Structure 1
Protein backbone atom coordinates (compact mmCIF):
# COMPACT_ATOMS: atom_id res chain seq x y z
CA UNK A 1 0.00 0.00 0.00
CA UNK A 2 1.23 3.49 -0.83
CA UNK A 3 1.50 6.47 1.49
CA UNK A 4 -1.47 8.05 -0.31
CA UNK A 5 -5.16 8.11 0.51
CA UNK A 6 -8.23 8.94 -1.54
CA UNK A 7 -10.90 10.79 0.44
CA UNK A 8 -14.49 10.78 -0.78
CA UNK A 9 -16.18 13.60 1.10
CA UNK A 10 -19.94 13.88 1.70
CA UNK A 11 -21.01 11.98 -1.41
CA UNK A 12 -24.32 11.25 0.28
CA UNK A 13 -27.85 11.08 -1.07
CA UNK A 14 -28.91 14.24 0.77
CA UNK A 15 -26.51 16.25 -1.39
CA UNK A 16 -26.13 14.58 -4.76
CA UNK A 17 -29.25 12.55 -5.36
CA UNK A 18 -32.09 14.19 -7.28
CA UNK A 19 -34.41 13.39 -4.36
CA UNK A 20 -32.05 14.78 -1.73
CA UNK A 21 -33.53 17.73 0.11
CA UNK A 22 -30.25 19.66 -0.10
CA UNK A 23 -29.44 18.31 -3.55
CA UNK A 24 -32.36 20.34 -4.85
CA UNK A 25 -30.43 23.51 -3.92
CA UNK A 26 -28.13 23.06 -6.90
CA UNK A 27 -25.81 20.30 -5.68
CA UNK A 28 -27.49 17.58 -7.75
CA UNK A 29 -27.53 19.74 -10.89
CA UNK A 30 -23.87 20.71 -10.57
CA UNK A 31 -22.85 17.10 -9.88
CA UNK A 32 -24.70 16.06 -13.04
CA UNK A 33 -23.07 18.80 -15.13
CA UNK A 34 -19.62 17.70 -13.98
CA UNK A 35 -20.34 13.96 -14.38
CA UNK A 36 -19.24 13.73 -10.77
CA UNK A 37 -20.37 10.16 -10.08
CA UNK A 38 -18.81 8.86 -13.30
CA UNK A 39 -15.54 10.60 -12.46
CA UNK A 40 -15.63 9.32 -8.89
CA UNK A 41 -16.16 5.75 -10.09
CA UNK A 42 -13.13 6.12 -12.35
CA UNK A 43 -10.83 7.46 -9.63
CA UNK A 44 -12.07 4.93 -7.06
CA UNK A 45 -11.40 2.12 -9.53
CA UNK A 46 -7.86 3.40 -10.10
CA UNK A 47 -7.27 3.69 -6.35
CA UNK A 48 -8.46 0.10 -5.80
CA UNK A 49 -6.25 -1.13 -8.63
CA UNK A 50 -3.22 0.55 -7.01
CA UNK A 51 -4.25 -0.55 -3.50
CA UNK A 52 -4.53 3.04 -2.33
CA UNK A 53 -6.31 3.58 0.98
CA UNK A 54 -9.87 4.81 0.42
CA UNK A 55 -11.66 6.79 3.10
CA UNK A 56 -15.28 7.89 2.85
CA UNK A 57 -16.39 10.74 5.08
CA UNK A 58 -20.09 11.29 5.67
CA UNK A 59 -21.98 13.99 7.50
CA UNK A 60 -24.92 13.53 9.83
CA UNK A 61 -26.48 13.57 13.26
CA UNK A 62 -28.15 10.99 15.48
CA UNK A 63 -31.96 10.98 15.52
CA UNK A 64 -32.00 13.20 18.62
CA UNK A 65 -29.58 15.70 17.03
CA UNK A 66 -27.26 15.35 20.01
CA UNK A 67 -24.26 16.65 18.05
CA UNK A 68 -26.20 19.52 16.45
CA UNK A 69 -25.75 23.17 17.44
CA UNK A 70 -28.08 26.03 16.63
CA UNK A 71 -25.01 28.29 16.53
CA UNK A 72 -23.63 26.81 13.32
CA UNK A 73 -25.14 28.91 10.54
CA UNK A 74 -24.76 26.26 7.86
CA UNK A 75 -26.71 23.69 9.89
CA UNK A 76 -29.33 25.90 11.57
CA UNK A 77 -32.28 24.41 9.65
CA UNK A 78 -31.09 20.79 9.76
CA UNK A 79 -32.92 19.88 12.95
CA UNK A 80 -36.08 21.80 12.02
CA UNK A 81 -36.15 20.08 8.62
CA UNK A 82 -35.24 16.69 10.09
CA UNK A 83 -32.29 16.36 7.69
CA UNK A 84 -29.03 14.41 7.74
CA UNK A 85 -30.05 11.73 10.22
CA UNK A 86 -27.43 9.01 10.40
CA UNK A 87 -28.59 5.59 9.27
CA UNK A 88 -31.34 6.97 7.05
CA UNK A 89 -31.34 7.14 3.25
CA UNK A 90 -30.23 10.79 3.25
CA UNK A 91 -26.85 10.07 4.84
CA UNK A 92 -26.08 6.90 2.90
CA UNK A 93 -23.23 7.09 0.42
CA UNK A 94 -24.60 7.27 -3.12
CA UNK A 95 -25.02 3.71 -4.43
CA UNK A 96 -22.94 4.42 -7.55
CA UNK A 97 -19.80 4.79 -5.41
CA UNK A 98 -20.47 2.52 -2.43
CA UNK A 99 -17.58 1.60 -0.14
CA UNK A 100 -16.14 -1.88 0.05
CA UNK A 101 -15.39 -3.75 3.28
CA UNK A 102 -11.73 -2.69 3.37
CA UNK A 103 -12.57 1.02 3.00
CA UNK A 104 -12.94 3.30 5.98
CA UNK A 105 -16.15 5.25 6.60
CA UNK A 106 -15.79 8.17 8.99
CA UNK A 107 -18.73 10.13 10.38
CA UNK A 108 -18.43 13.86 11.00
CA UNK A 109 -20.82 16.35 12.56
CA UNK A 110 -19.28 19.57 11.27
CA UNK A 111 -17.83 20.81 7.98
CA UNK A 112 -14.20 19.88 8.74
CA UNK A 113 -13.62 16.10 8.53
CA UNK A 114 -10.69 16.33 10.96
CA UNK A 115 -12.76 18.01 13.69
CA UNK A 116 -14.05 15.59 16.31
CA UNK A 117 -13.33 12.47 14.21
CA UNK A 118 -10.69 9.76 14.05
CA UNK A 119 -9.61 10.75 10.52
CA UNK A 120 -6.11 11.84 11.49
CA UNK A 121 -5.63 8.70 13.58
CA UNK A 122 -6.60 6.52 10.60
CA UNK A 123 -4.23 8.44 8.31
CA UNK A 124 -1.29 8.30 10.75
CA UNK A 125 -1.79 4.60 11.56
CA UNK A 126 -1.63 3.86 7.82
CA UNK A 127 1.48 6.05 7.32
CA UNK A 128 -0.39 8.37 4.96
CA UNK A 129 1.25 11.67 4.06
CA UNK A 130 -0.51 12.57 0.81
CA UNK A 131 -4.25 13.10 0.35
CA UNK A 132 -6.35 13.15 -2.81
CA UNK A 133 -9.63 14.94 -2.17
CA UNK A 134 -12.97 14.44 -3.90
CA UNK A 135 -16.56 15.22 -2.99
CA UNK A 136 -19.28 17.73 -2.35
CA UNK A 137 -19.06 20.55 -1.76
CA UNK A 138 -16.04 22.42 -3.00
CA UNK A 139 -16.56 25.47 -0.79
CA UNK A 140 -17.31 23.59 2.43
CA UNK A 141 -15.95 20.11 3.17
CA UNK A 142 -13.32 20.08 0.42
CA UNK A 143 -11.97 23.53 1.32
CA UNK A 144 -12.04 22.67 5.04
CA UNK A 145 -10.12 19.46 4.28
CA UNK A 146 -7.52 21.39 2.32
CA UNK A 147 -6.95 23.85 5.15
CA UNK A 148 -6.96 21.24 7.94
CA UNK A 149 -4.82 18.80 5.98
CA UNK A 150 -2.38 21.53 5.00
CA UNK A 151 -2.00 22.60 8.63
CA UNK A 152 -1.33 18.98 9.61
CA UNK A 153 1.52 18.79 7.07
CA UNK A 154 -0.13 16.52 4.51
CA UNK A 155 0.51 16.99 0.80
CA UNK A 156 -2.93 17.85 -0.53
CA UNK A 157 -4.30 17.21 -4.03
CA UNK A 158 -7.79 18.28 -5.09
CA UNK A 159 -9.04 16.30 -8.09
CA UNK A 160 -10.89 19.05 -9.95
CA UNK A 161 -13.27 16.81 -11.95
CA UNK A 162 -14.23 14.99 -8.74
CA UNK A 163 -15.43 17.95 -6.67
CA UNK A 164 -18.54 20.07 -7.13
CA UNK A 165 -20.68 22.64 -5.40
CA UNK A 166 -24.18 24.10 -5.40
CA UNK A 167 -23.21 26.58 -8.13
CA UNK A 168 -20.35 27.22 -10.51
CA UNK A 169 -19.32 30.52 -8.93
CA UNK A 170 -18.88 29.00 -5.44
CA UNK A 171 -16.97 26.09 -6.96
CA UNK A 172 -14.66 28.36 -8.97
CA UNK A 173 -13.96 30.58 -5.95
CA UNK A 174 -13.18 27.55 -3.79
CA UNK A 175 -10.84 26.10 -6.44
CA UNK A 176 -9.04 29.44 -6.65
CA UNK A 177 -8.51 29.53 -2.88
CA UNK A 178 -7.56 25.83 -2.66
CA UNK A 179 -4.93 26.27 -5.38
CA UNK A 180 -2.98 28.45 -2.94
CA UNK A 181 -2.76 25.64 -0.37
CA UNK A 182 -2.91 22.48 -2.45
CA UNK A 183 -2.33 20.99 -5.86
CA UNK A 184 -5.45 21.20 -8.01
CA UNK A 185 -4.99 18.27 -10.36
CA UNK A 186 -6.80 16.59 -13.22
CA UNK A 187 -8.12 13.07 -12.96
CA UNK A 188 -5.99 12.26 -16.01
CA UNK A 189 -2.79 13.11 -14.14
CA UNK A 190 -3.37 10.93 -11.07
CA UNK A 191 -0.77 8.26 -10.40
CA UNK A 192 -1.42 6.59 -7.06
Structure 2
Protein backbone atom coordinates (compact mmCIF):
# COMPACT_ATOMS: atom_id res chain seq x y z
CA UNK A 1 0.00 0.00 0.00
CA UNK A 2 1.50 3.31 -0.92
CA UNK A 3 -1.22 5.62 0.37
CA UNK A 4 -3.12 5.99 3.64
CA UNK A 5 -6.00 8.03 5.04
CA UNK A 6 -5.13 9.66 8.37
CA UNK A 7 -8.20 10.70 10.37
CA UNK A 8 -6.98 13.36 12.79
CA UNK A 9 -8.25 13.91 16.35
CA UNK A 10 -11.82 12.86 15.59
CA UNK A 11 -12.31 11.77 19.19
CA UNK A 12 -15.25 12.23 21.53
CA UNK A 13 -13.63 14.99 23.61
CA UNK A 14 -13.36 17.14 20.49
CA UNK A 15 -16.15 16.22 18.07
CA UNK A 16 -18.93 14.34 19.85
CA UNK A 17 -22.06 16.43 20.48
CA UNK A 18 -22.12 15.08 24.06
CA UNK A 19 -18.45 15.81 24.67
CA UNK A 20 -16.86 18.84 26.37
CA UNK A 21 -16.40 20.62 23.03
CA UNK A 22 -19.86 19.78 21.71
CA UNK A 23 -21.24 23.25 22.44
CA UNK A 24 -17.98 25.14 21.86
CA UNK A 25 -17.27 27.18 18.72
CA UNK A 26 -15.31 24.19 17.38
CA UNK A 27 -18.23 21.86 18.10
CA UNK A 28 -20.60 24.23 16.36
CA UNK A 29 -18.38 24.26 13.27
CA UNK A 30 -18.12 20.46 13.30
CA UNK A 31 -21.93 20.29 13.20
CA UNK A 32 -22.38 23.15 10.71
CA UNK A 33 -19.88 21.58 8.31
CA UNK A 34 -21.26 18.04 8.89
CA UNK A 35 -17.69 16.88 9.49
CA UNK A 36 -18.49 13.59 11.25
CA UNK A 37 -20.84 12.30 8.55
CA UNK A 38 -18.59 13.47 5.70
CA UNK A 39 -15.60 11.80 7.35
CA UNK A 40 -17.53 8.56 7.77
CA UNK A 41 -18.35 8.60 4.05
CA UNK A 42 -14.72 9.41 3.17
CA UNK A 43 -13.53 6.47 5.30
CA UNK A 44 -15.92 4.17 3.43
CA UNK A 45 -14.59 5.46 0.09
CA UNK A 46 -10.99 4.90 1.19
CA UNK A 47 -11.78 1.35 2.30
CA UNK A 48 -13.58 0.63 -0.99
CA UNK A 49 -10.46 1.80 -2.86
CA UNK A 50 -8.21 -0.43 -0.79
CA UNK A 51 -6.57 2.49 1.02
CA UNK A 52 -5.84 1.74 4.69
CA UNK A 53 -7.27 4.01 7.37
CA UNK A 54 -5.40 5.13 10.47
CA UNK A 55 -6.71 7.23 13.34
CA UNK A 56 -4.77 9.80 15.32
CA UNK A 57 -5.84 10.96 18.77
CA UNK A 58 -4.41 13.10 21.53
CA UNK A 59 -4.24 11.38 24.89
CA UNK A 60 -2.41 11.43 28.21
CA UNK A 61 -1.94 8.90 31.00
CA UNK A 62 -4.52 9.23 33.81
CA UNK A 63 -1.96 11.19 35.86
CA UNK A 64 -1.20 13.44 32.84
CA UNK A 65 2.54 12.80 33.12
CA UNK A 66 3.06 13.61 29.40
CA UNK A 67 0.97 16.80 29.47
CA UNK A 68 3.09 19.94 29.01
CA UNK A 69 2.37 22.26 31.94
CA UNK A 70 3.27 25.45 30.10
CA UNK A 71 1.29 24.74 26.93
CA UNK A 72 -1.50 27.12 25.98
CA UNK A 73 -3.04 24.21 24.08
CA UNK A 74 -2.84 21.37 26.61
CA UNK A 75 -2.16 22.72 30.11
CA UNK A 76 -5.87 22.99 30.95
CA UNK A 77 -6.54 19.32 30.17
CA UNK A 78 -5.95 17.91 33.69
CA UNK A 79 -8.35 20.37 35.35
CA UNK A 80 -10.95 19.76 32.64
CA UNK A 81 -10.45 15.99 32.79
CA UNK A 82 -10.11 15.73 29.02
CA UNK A 83 -7.75 13.74 26.78
CA UNK A 84 -7.44 11.03 29.44
CA UNK A 85 -6.47 7.66 27.99
CA UNK A 86 -8.85 4.87 28.92
CA UNK A 87 -11.78 7.28 29.16
CA UNK A 88 -14.67 7.81 26.72
CA UNK A 89 -13.26 11.15 25.58
CA UNK A 90 -10.20 9.67 23.87
CA UNK A 91 -12.22 7.06 21.97
CA UNK A 92 -12.75 7.69 18.26
CA UNK A 93 -16.25 9.01 17.48
CA UNK A 94 -18.44 5.89 17.12
CA UNK A 95 -19.99 7.07 13.84
CA UNK A 96 -16.60 6.67 12.15
CA UNK A 97 -16.60 2.90 12.55
CA UNK A 98 -13.02 2.34 13.62
CA UNK A 99 -12.01 -1.26 12.99
CA UNK A 100 -9.64 -3.50 14.90
CA UNK A 101 -7.21 -3.55 11.99
CA UNK A 102 -7.05 0.27 11.72
CA UNK A 103 -3.86 1.75 13.15
CA UNK A 104 -4.35 4.06 16.13
CA UNK A 105 -1.65 6.65 16.79
CA UNK A 106 -1.70 8.29 20.22
CA UNK A 107 0.12 11.61 20.45
CA UNK A 108 0.95 13.94 23.32
CA UNK A 109 1.50 17.08 21.27
CA UNK A 110 -0.14 18.80 18.29
CA UNK A 111 1.77 16.98 15.54
CA UNK A 112 1.10 13.26 15.05
CA UNK A 113 4.74 12.84 14.00
CA UNK A 114 6.23 14.09 17.28
CA UNK A 115 7.41 11.24 19.55
CA UNK A 116 5.02 8.67 18.01
CA UNK A 117 5.43 5.62 15.81
CA UNK A 118 3.55 7.21 12.89
CA UNK A 119 6.57 7.62 10.62
CA UNK A 120 7.70 4.04 11.28
CA UNK A 121 4.22 2.83 10.29
CA UNK A 122 4.19 4.93 7.10
CA UNK A 123 7.68 3.81 6.01
CA UNK A 124 6.88 0.16 6.77
CA UNK A 125 3.72 0.34 4.64
CA UNK A 126 5.65 2.08 1.86
CA UNK A 127 3.33 5.10 2.01
CA UNK A 128 4.05 7.88 -0.43
CA UNK A 129 0.73 9.77 -0.28
CA UNK A 130 -1.15 10.79 2.85
CA UNK A 131 -4.82 11.69 2.62
CA UNK A 132 -5.86 13.48 5.80
CA UNK A 133 -8.63 15.41 7.51
CA UNK A 134 -9.83 16.26 10.99
CA UNK A 135 -9.97 18.88 13.70
CA UNK A 136 -8.81 21.38 14.24
CA UNK A 137 -7.75 22.88 10.93
CA UNK A 138 -5.32 25.34 12.51
CA UNK A 139 -3.75 22.74 14.80
CA UNK A 140 -3.36 19.04 13.93
CA UNK A 141 -4.26 19.45 10.25
CA UNK A 142 -1.66 22.16 9.68
CA UNK A 143 0.95 20.32 11.76
CA UNK A 144 0.36 17.08 9.87
CA UNK A 145 0.62 18.73 6.47
CA UNK A 146 3.81 20.63 7.28
CA UNK A 147 5.55 17.73 9.02
CA UNK A 148 4.53 15.26 6.29
CA UNK A 149 5.73 17.63 3.58
CA UNK A 150 9.14 17.93 5.24
CA UNK A 151 9.36 14.13 5.33
CA UNK A 152 8.76 14.02 1.56
CA UNK A 153 5.21 12.67 1.61
CA UNK A 154 2.63 13.82 -0.94
CA UNK A 155 -0.31 15.19 1.05
CA UNK A 156 -3.97 15.62 0.12
CA UNK A 157 -6.33 17.33 2.59
CA UNK A 158 -10.05 16.58 2.45
CA UNK A 159 -11.07 20.17 3.13
CA UNK A 160 -14.75 19.56 3.83
CA UNK A 161 -13.87 16.96 6.49
CA UNK A 162 -11.97 19.58 8.53
CA UNK A 163 -13.12 22.34 10.87
CA UNK A 164 -11.70 25.06 13.07
CA UNK A 165 -13.21 27.19 15.85
CA UNK A 166 -14.55 29.55 13.17
CA UNK A 167 -15.13 29.50 9.43
CA UNK A 168 -12.50 32.22 9.10
CA UNK A 169 -9.84 30.24 11.00
CA UNK A 170 -10.55 27.20 8.85
CA UNK A 171 -10.30 29.25 5.65
CA UNK A 172 -7.06 30.90 6.78
CA UNK A 173 -5.60 27.51 7.71
CA UNK A 174 -6.35 26.05 4.30
CA UNK A 175 -4.78 29.08 2.62
CA UNK A 176 -1.66 28.89 4.77
CA UNK A 177 -0.95 25.22 3.91
CA UNK A 178 -1.83 25.49 0.22
CA UNK A 179 1.85 25.42 -0.81
CA UNK A 180 2.48 22.20 1.09
CA UNK A 181 -0.46 20.05 0.00
CA UNK A 182 -3.38 19.62 -2.34
CA UNK A 183 -6.91 20.20 -1.07
CA UNK A 184 -9.95 18.34 -2.36
CA UNK A 185 -13.54 17.82 -1.34
CA UNK A 186 -14.39 14.37 -0.03
CA UNK A 187 -17.18 14.11 -2.59
CA UNK A 188 -14.84 14.67 -5.54
CA UNK A 189 -11.91 12.75 -4.07
CA UNK A 190 -10.84 9.52 -5.76
CA UNK A 191 -8.66 7.60 -3.34
CA UNK A 192 -5.77 5.83 -5.05
CA UNK A 193 -3.46 3.13 -3.76
CA UNK A 194 -0.59 4.26 -6.07
CA UNK A 195 0.80 0.74 -6.35
Q: Which TM-score applies when normalising by structure 1?
A: 0.96
The whole-number CA distance in structure 1 between the counterparts of 2:55 and 2:116 is 12
1:47 aligned residue? 46
Structure 1 unaligned residues grouped into runs of 5+: none
Aligned residues of 1:9 and 1:133 also touching (Cα < 8 A): yes
1:111 is displaced (CA, Å) by 0.4
1:83 aligns with 2:91: no
Q: In the TM superposition, what are the counterparts of 1:1-192 in structure 2 within 5 Å?
A: 2-192=1-191
Q: How far is the alpha carbon of 1:74 from its aligned partner?
A: 0.8
Q: In 1, Cα distance between the equivalents of 2:188 and 2:128?
A: 19
Q: Are 2:66 and 2:108, in contact at CA under 8 Å, matched by a contact in 1?
A: yes
**1:14-70 CA distance string (max 9 Å, x none):** 111122213332122111111111111111001111110111001110101010111
Task: Output one character per residue of 1:113-144: Cα deviation in whole Å (capped at 9) or x when no partner.
Answer: 00010000000000001001111110000000
> Which SS does the other structure have where 1:187 is aligned?
coil
Give the root-mean-square deviation of aligned CA atoms. 1.1
Count how many residue pairs are aligned between Structure 1 and Structure 2. Answer: 191
Is residue 59–residue 107 contact of structure 2 (8 Å, CA) maintained in 1?
yes
**C-alpha separation between the residues in 1 aligned to 2:137 and 2:61?**
25
Contact 2:40/2:97, CA 8 A, preserved across alignment: no
Stretches of structure 2 that go unaligned for 5 or more consecutive residues are: none
Structure 2 CA distance, aligned partners of 1:81 and 1:41? Answer: 28
Give the TM-score normalised by the residue count of structure 2.
Answer: 0.94
Is 74-83 or 87-96 further displaced after alignment? 74-83
**Separation in structure 1 between the aligned mates of residue 23 and residue 65 of structure 2, nearest angstrom:** 26
Q: How far apart in 1 are the matches of 2:168 and 2:155?
A: 22
Mapped to 1, the partners of 2:101 and 2:67 lie a distance apart of 30
Distance in 1 of aligned mates of 2:70 and 2:21: 19
Q: Quick check: 1:178–1:184 contact (8 Å CA) kept in 2? A: no
